[in-house]
């Protein structure tokens, strides 16, 4: 089914070059990253430029329409052995289908253009699975953008891409090294900035918080162990705590993010009808 | 610091017996399970009977008060080598501190005694990390019990225990093989039973749903891939969908659980004050 342009073995220079994209330094140097699996490759093809598609014989037989679509879009389709596909994979069961795509991130100013109403900021999230899950929840909740601030892990990391289950391709993602500057940019874009933090002075379910959530907001999620850092903590407009009613000490980052983002969805569904027509 | 009652090597019969608890069949046969790490062992000692505590020299030196407390409670403290501690551990970095505890689950009827107002039901959850995370969120949200129905993974699995970060010891946990019977028991206990499902006929943020959530409810969370199964789907009072506003196809199980359980917390914080005094 697949007519490779170069004979596919794990020794080809194309595979060797693509392997460098498994590491952040390689991705940043090339401006490209790897996307594995039929579902993710489909999302990548729909979202933007794909440069190469490595396909094993078995994966090509399982996804002929996908290989055809890639070829139609001018993607260089390269037949590879199972061994080469495994060398491009970080998963236990390689999918046999790996695409080389342009990095997705845009400048912070671009992500915040157009009067956003709902933004998620990752400020120092270290675990790639968490970053991917936050992007997925932000997509589901209807966020306009996800900003990755400070030392947050690269969202193009394979584990982050997988955890996002395609959502990385659905909404603008931007990176900013200076986390406080990212928070300030959100404020300048008209967003009320809220840090999710167990020590927050506001309770997530306070009526005052619900009123804020009904307006334009940026939720800031900090590092799994240390929170968002003191400069972000101080720069945000409010610090909001999720109420803990039982004896749990805390929530994990992904569940806390989901609770905050969907409290926003709920506040917009619930608070708006309570306002009289014409009210602010 | 540690005076072992038996010389500690990886060859002792106690270690060999404890190793059997790494598997579900061994746990069910012995009625016991393993708890690893200082924090979890502290929770186990506070919660109920601990039979044995395996301690490496290094872990004993790091946690002298914990070893002392265990000994005060009549726990058999056994010095073990690092190798033996690793053999009792499923983690990459063994903690050197492993307790043998009684299984925690109680009968479903016991968990539902005392007019519960808020219960979580896991109906076929397959991933132990997900079960542990759901128990943690249920604890934080103030649930009265977690019921593990049908083919749900054993909550005493090491990964589930770790993901619960101690919450497994905080609230009653019960297991019932017949998932539809567990749902029926919730109904008989006065709980409105709600399945979280993307095809649900009610939206999580509908005012009608919020009114239901302000009363006694049991949330039912199904299998990660297949949902809760048709008999549970049919037995529940309502099927509730989390609204998806972006282009994400779905949410993962742990984030969906967190959203549903905290929507309940929010409904109770928000809906109650809107009712006139004396209203139902």
Comparing A16-30, B117-131, B265-279, the range with the smallest average pLDDT is B265-279
pLDDT tens across B73-85, in order?
999 999 999 999 9
Percent of chain B with pLDDT over 90: 88
Is B115's pLDDT higher than 80?
yes
Search chain B and give the residue with CA nearest A271: B270
Q: Coil, strand or helix: which one is A222? A: strand
What's the whole-number mean pLDDT along residues A252-277?
A: 80
CB interface of B with A, residues 15-44, below 8 Å: none
pLDDT at residue number B91? 87
**Burial class of residue A76, CB neighbours in 10 A (0-12, 13-18, 19+):** middle
What's the whole-number mean pLDDT along residues B116-129?
A: 97
Is B274's pLDDT higher than 70?
no
pLDDT at residue number A250? 93
Is A273's pLDDT higher than 70?
no
Q: Coil, strand or helix: which one is B20? A: helix
The strand pairing partners of A194, in sequence order, are A219, A238
Question: Distance, in angstroms, between A81 CA and closest chain B CA?
Answer: 30
Comparing A7-21, A215-229, A240-254, B167-181, the range with the smallest average pLDDT is A7-21
Judge whether A170 is closer than 8 Å to chain B, CB to CB: yes
**Cβ–Cβ of B166/A248 closer than 8 Å?**
yes
Is A112's pLDDT higher than 70?
yes
What's the whole-number mean pLDDT along residues B59-86?
A: 95
Mean model confidence pLDDT for chain B: 92
Judge whether B259 is closer than 8 Å to chain A, CB to CB: yes
Q: Coil, strand or helix: which one is A22? A: helix
What's the whole-number mean pLDDT along residues B245-267?
A: 96
pLDDT band at A10 (very low <50, low <70, confident <90, very high): very low
Question: Distance, in angstroms, between B225 CA and closest chain A CA?
Answer: 14
Among A8, A271, A45, A275, residue whose Cα is nearest residue B266: A271
Comparing A6-20, A145-159, B8-22, the range with the smallest average pLDDT is A6-20
- Spatial strand order of the sheet with A97-102 comes to A32-36, A97-102, A50-55, A76-79
pLDDT at residue number B2? 52
What's the whole-number mean pLDDT along residues B52-73?
A: 96
Percent of chain B with pLDDT over 70: 92
pLDDT tens across A153-173, in order?
999 999 999 999 999 999 999
What's the whole-number mean pLDDT along residues B251-272?
A: 90
In this structure, what are the phi and psi dihedrals at residue B50, rounded to the nearest 5 degrees? -115, 130
Of A223 and A7, the one with more pLDDT: A223
**Cβ–Cβ of A248/B205 closer than 8 Å?**
no
What's the whole-number mean pLDDT along residues B136-160?
A: 97
Q: Which of A262, A264, A274 is the best residue to mutate to test the B interface, defined by the most B CB atoms within 10 Å of its own CB?
A: A262
- What CA–CA distance (Å, rounded) separates B151 from B168? 19
Q: Cβ distance B101 to B51 under 8 Å?
A: yes
pLDDT band at B92 (very low <50, low <70, confident <90, very high): confident
**Cβ–Cβ of B270/A204 closer than 8 Å?**
no
CB atoms within 10 A of CB A274: 12
CA A69 to chain centre: 25
pLDDT band at A90 (very low <50, low <70, confident <90, very high): confident
**Cβ–Cβ of B254/A259 closer than 8 Å?**
no
Residue numbers in B near A206 (CB within 8 A): 269
**Cβ–Cβ of B246/A210 closer than 8 Å?**
no
Provide the whole-model pTM: 0.91
> Could you report how far apart the first and last alpha carbons of chain A are, in Å?
61
Is B10's pLDDT higher than 70?
no
pLDDT at residue number A2? 52
Is A193's pLDDT higher than 70?
yes
Question: Distance, in angstroms, between A1 CA and closest chain B CA?
Answer: 30
What's the whole-number mean pLDDT along residues B175-188?
A: 97
- What CA–CA distance (Å, rounded) separates B146 from B154? 12
pLDDT at residue number A280? 41
pLDDT at residue number B11? 62
For residue B12, the number of C-alpha atoms closer than 13 Å in the C-beta half-sphere is 18
pLDDT at residue number B178? 96
Q: Which of A170, A205, A246 sits opposite B140 (nearest CB)?
A: A246
Domains, chain B, in order of start with CATH, read: 13-102 (3.30.1330.30), 108-271 (3.40.1280.10)
Q: Coil, strand or helix: which one is A239? A: strand
- What CA–CA distance (Å, rounded) separates A261 from A137? 8
Is B211's pLDDT higher than 50?
yes
């Amino acid at each position: 089914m697949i007519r490779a342009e170069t004979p596919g073995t794990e020794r080809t220079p194309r595979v060797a070059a693509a392997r460098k994209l498994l590491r952040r330094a390689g991705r940043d140097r090339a401006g490209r990253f790897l996307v594995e699996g039929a579902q993710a490759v489909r999302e990548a093809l729909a979202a933007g430029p794909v440069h190469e598609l490595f396909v094993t014989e078995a994966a090509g037989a399982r996804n002929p329409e996908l290989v055809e679509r890639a070829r139609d879009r001018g993607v260089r389709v390269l037949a590879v052995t199972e061994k080469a596909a495994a060398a491009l994979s970080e998963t236990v069961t390689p999918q046999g289908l790996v695409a080389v795509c342009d990095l997705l991130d845009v400048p912070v100013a671009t992500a915040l253009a157009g009067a956003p109403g709902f933004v998620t900021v990752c400020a120092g999230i270290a675990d790639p699975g968490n970053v991917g899950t936050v992007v997925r929840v932000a997509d589901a909740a209807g966020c306009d953008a996800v900003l990755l601030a400070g030392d947050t892990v690269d969202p193009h990391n394979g584990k982050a891409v997988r955890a996002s289950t395609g959502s990385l391709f659905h909404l603008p993602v931007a990176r900013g090294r200076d986390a406080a500057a990212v928070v300030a940019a959100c404020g300048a874009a008209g967003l009320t900035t809220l840090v999710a933090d167990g020590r927050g002075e506001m309770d997530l379910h306070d009526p005052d918080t619900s009123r804020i959530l009904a307006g334009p907001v940026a939720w800031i999620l900090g590092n799994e162990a240390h929170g968002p850092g003191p400069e972000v903590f101080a720069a945000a407009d409010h610090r909001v705590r999720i109420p803990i009613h039982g004896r749990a000490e805390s929530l994990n980052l992904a569940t806390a993010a989901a609770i905050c983002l969907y409290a926003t969805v709920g506040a917009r569904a619930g608070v708006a009808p309570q306002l009289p027509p014409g009210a602010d």
